[in-house]
Amino acid sequence: MKVHEEDVRIPGAGHEIRAKVLTPAGGGRWPGVLLYSDIFQLTESTLRTCRRLAAAGLIVCVPEIYPRGELAGVALEFDDEGKAAGLAGAASMTTAEFDEDRASVLDHLAARDDVTSVHAAGYCLGGHLAFRAAFDGRVASTVCFYPTGLHNGSLGQDQADSLSRSADIHGRLMIIFGSRDPHVPAAARVQILSALYEAGHEDLELHVYAGGEHAFMRDVGPRYDPALTDLGLTEAVSFLHGRSVG
């Protein structure tokens, strides 16, 4: 299926949030997904993933995650300088600001006439943001790919309360990890799963891909694993469609 792309500007609280919306070509109504990038923002690598998801019958809205400061509108390079800038961008944001922007983007997505239901997904830092998006009662299901900082509250400049708010998630939840991810090692994965179970989420889907490194789905660099990426995207699409396709 071919995909249509458009640039949108979503009103925030005193600022605009740049985003791209990718839709299956030919019109129709589809599930809508708020997809969060990693710290590098709207790179071509992220957009290639968005195109695959849209081609699988999803409307994907991918916003910048640093819309307030000097990184607004900037897609960072996958190098040391880009990594440093992305981490600095995260450190400049408060949890409340991330949440405020999330509400604005979900408002935009939910108001679209071509969206049948609202969902969330994200990678790395974006996986953590997707987890927080699941607190919104409109979000029917969420897929978190190797979410960082979830186990220890590391998100922005303050301590996030994400895991302690697990009971606020009312939709379906899937989390995908790589077994060799130093940012979310086995002990952190156990901590996350234990907190979710304690909050009553005993029917969540958890996948740990053997050999998967951090950012194994980013199709740039030596950690990229095409086979695991295909597996993760297949699982995500099926899950976000409510297992109606796969």
What is the rounded distance in angstroms from the CA atom of residue 35 to the CA atom of residue 84? Answer: 22
pLDDT digit string (tens) for the chain, length 246 residues: 899 999 999 999 899 999 999 999 998 999 999 999 999 999 999 999 999 999 999 999 999 999 998 999 999 999 999 999 999 999 999 999 999 999 999 999 999 999 999 999 999 999 999 999 999 999 999 999 999 999 999 999 999 999 999 999 999 999 999 999 999 999 999 999 999 999 999 999 999 999 999 999 999 999 999 999 999 999 999 999 997 433
Q: Report the topology of domain 3-240.
A: Rossmann fold (3.40.50)
What is the rounded distance in angstroms from the CA atom of residue 24 to the CA atom of residue 86? Answer: 30
pTM (2 decimals)?
Answer: 0.96
Q: Which amino acid is at 230?
A: D
Contact 86, 40 (CB under 8 A): yes
- Can you read off the two tokens belonging to residue 199? 């909050």
